[in-house]
Structure 1
């Protein structure tokens, strides 16, 4: 927003969200999106950088929360990664996939049992390691890639991947 001259997104935000009002004084209404509200919330933090000629990377490093990297970060973030796949793996590692057990916990009416085996509730662990159909598929994929199939839990697979 501060240095976005020529940016289509900034032009759209100014025209249709802020509606050419003063960015520093703009008060969001109930229809303002969550992400725009978050941007507006850090305006005061950004103000101290607006007069500096720091690079965007330096500003980001100064204002972002810093924490220790998780042990599995190299499984996701590496050169030539595919963002869609990384998001799915990240959600899986965090046990945030919308599996049937999670949908039910959110109050969404979904059948509990796995559609492939009809024996057990569909959970992350069932999806990747416990279902008989998925077990056969994993064995085929591993064999095609010259790897031995062994029954591991999801957490064991992640541990093996990060320590290899």
Structure 2
């Protein structure tokens, strides 16, 4: 037996792959980002938001780009992830309507970790699934509205944004109505 045949018998691609690719621990938000029935473009947006890598104006201004760091919707506070997605007055009107359908928290969340805890704290799996779908849809629509406002100088009323979110969620649930966990989601959303 020569050298090459002996070394090929000992070599395993999987072992080399595991050595070259170190693993990180499972993140606490992975169940909010990836789940059966989720929409890939919504999951990608929420994944970027969880890492706080979405290019907010305060971040761009810190990089010395010629951008005002204030929120384009309320023009009151610096635009950060928590401010844009959770505490902006424009967004609170939309959140109020969404949270009414997903059992609102007793105290409104002020930061992202409280928000993730609220999603997971639902009393049933179906309600948790509805919260995940709603949150991903809302975050995606908020980001889309921000982009529209900054680049097209067009702002939609909060009621119109909520109508778009509601329509999209109805479509998501209807398309998956034959799946086991999606059976009663439409009734939960429409109450």
TM-score, length-normalised on structure 2? 0.50
Instruction: List per-residue Cα deviations over 1:125-147 (Å, max 9, x = no partner).
Output: 1111211111111101222x252
Q: Note the residue ranges of structure 2 that are not aligned, 5 or more in a row.
A: 1-6, 123-191
Contact kept? 1:76, 1:90, Cα under 8 Å = yes
TM-score, length-normalised on structure 1? 0.57
Counterpart mapping for 1:10-159 below 5 A: 61=18, 63-143=20-100, 145-148=101-104, 150-153=107-110, 154-159=112-117
Cα distance change, pair 76–109 in 1 and its aligned pair in 2 (3 A): same
Contact kept? 2:60, 2:69, Cα under 8 Å = no
Higher relative contact order (CA 8 A, sep 6+): 2
Q: Name the one with the larger helix percent.
A: 2
Aligned length: 113
For 2:175, the equivalent position in structure 1 comes to none
Cα distance change, pair 88–107 in 1 and its aligned pair in 2 (3 A): same
Q: Note the residue ranges of structure 1 that are not aligned, 5 or more in a row.
A: 1-47
Q: CA RMSD in A?
A: 2.8
